[in-house]
Structure 1
Amino acid sequence: MYKKEKTEKLKSNIKYLIKSRGETQISLCSSSGLTRTTIYNILEGRVVNVQQSTIRKISDFFGVSYKEIETVDFEEREVIESSVSLLGNMNPAAVPIIKENSLVQSLDKRIGELVATHPLTYFFGTACNLIGVLLENEIKGVNESGDLLIVKKGLSNSNKEKLVYDKTTKGLFITTESCCCSDEVLVIGEIVEERFNG
């Protein structure tokens, strides 16, 4: 019975986190390395005993505690925390800072791994799958070397600013066009905050 309760809690937390963080099952799968079948089976209640490595990948993606995702009701807790204080009571998210020259090699690594190997900054707000990109070259007319861009990793179909890597020039640029990875470009993700050097 205990395993079934944990699986139910995991299922409801995944559903809540996907909805509240503006994610989709596809973004969860592509960023965490899990298959759509795995996520589908968990959400449909077809799995009684979810592998620990799967739980860790899901909790890493959302930036939540691996232990709590099976035992705590996140929706209930966040409602309570946000109603206790006008400013909320959210801990800042740790964001790994990646230098521009090692950005492309770092993209396939999970946030949990990057946090352990890179310097950190903090982001105050609802966040998951964030990286800090430390610019070493200017982005003409927009950002200078030394600026830090907080980026939500992965593809985005919104019209917000996106950081994109041009494989031909080996440089970064910013666009609001919807674009996807191709032989010419690699979409780093949506810019959620800019911190200017100086």
Structure 2
Amino acid sequence: MYKKEKTENLKNNIKYLIKSRGETQLSLCNSSGLTRTTIYNILEGRVVNVQQSTIRKISDFFGVSYKEIETVDFQEREIIESDVSPEGNMNPAAVPVIKESDLVRSLDKRIGELCTIYPLTYYFGTACNLIGVLLENEISGMNEPGDLLIVKKGLPICGKEQLVYNKDSKKLFMTTECCVDSDVVRVVGEVIEERFNG
């Protein structure tokens, strides 16, 4: 059973590595010195006991560990190590959580300063200049008090969902229309994640 499992892992890894690295069976054969029949037989599951020299040639071609190619699921591991996964190796971004009532007076402060004043949450992904806006009032038909909006502060991007503060009504609203700071509105930034209050 163990041999069969290793061979299955090897087969799946070769298929994944060929596809993800932009290679072909032919390029693998030409560069590793293996015959097309050998590769074909492995990929079709016709070989139960693959020779160690063959495994070494395949792992060398892809630049992966000789031991791991039979025991590790490379596709699963690369998904886990990708930067947007909470299980990955990327440090999450610390995001200051600002109550809606404190938002306007906090907008001109730098993120580093806000992180020392407010509680933090974390955002898994590549981004900077993020704040969390803890809603205290409903945004009609969209969000309720207690929801947390992760917002990328800064210039608006037309067509993306933005959080905007209306100075007259003293309320937040969301829009995909182009908005610029004016006497009436203040653009908070682009909403990149919504966390709903359970």
The TM-score, its normalising length taken from structure 2, stands at 0.57
Question: Which AA in structure 2 matches 1:115?
Answer: C
Percent identity between matched residues is: 69
Runs of at least 5 residues in structure 2 that lack an aligned partner in the other structure: 1-77, 84-88
Q: Report the counterpart of residue 177 of structure 1 in structure 2.
A: 177
Measured in 2, the distance between the counterparts of 1:196 and 1:128 equals 22
Task: Quote the offset at 1:158 in angstroms.
Answer: 3.4
Secondary structure at 1:169 match in 2: coil
Q: Report the counterpart of residue 146 of structure 1 in structure 2.
A: 146
Measured in 1, the distance between the counterparts of 2:183 and 2:98 equals 23
Question: Which AA in structure 2 matches 1:87?
Answer: S
Measured in 2, the distance between the counterparts of 1:84 and 1:178 equals 35
Question: Which AA in structure 2 matches 1:177?
Answer: E
Q: Report the counterpart of residue 193 of structure 2 in structure 1.
A: 193
Task: Quote the offset at 1:180 in angstroms.
Answer: 0.3
| Alignment pair present for 1:92 and 2:87 | no
For 1:147-162, what aligned pairs fall within 5 Å after superposition? Answer: 147-162=147-162
Measured in 1, the distance between the counterparts of 2:153 and 2:82 equals 26
Q: Report the counterpart of residue 136 of structure 2 in structure 1.
A: 136
Structure exhibiting the larger radius of gyration computed from Cα positions = 2
Measured in 2, the distance between the counterparts of 1:84 and 1:127 equals 19
Structure 1 residues 195, 182: closer, same or farther in 2, change over 3 A?
A: same
Measured in 2, the distance between the counterparts of 1:126 and 1:158 equals 21
Runs of at least 5 residues in structure 1 that lack an aligned partner in the other structure: 1-82
Task: Quote the offset at 1:109 in angstroms.
Answer: 0.4
Task: Quote the offset at 1:155 in angstroms.
Answer: 1.4
Q: Report the counterpart of residue 121 of structure 2 in structure 1.
A: 121
| Alignment pair present for 1:105 and 2:105 | yes
Q: Report the counterpart of residue 27 of structure 1 in structure 2.
A: none
| Higher-RCO chain (CA-CA 8 Å, sequence separation at least 6) | 1
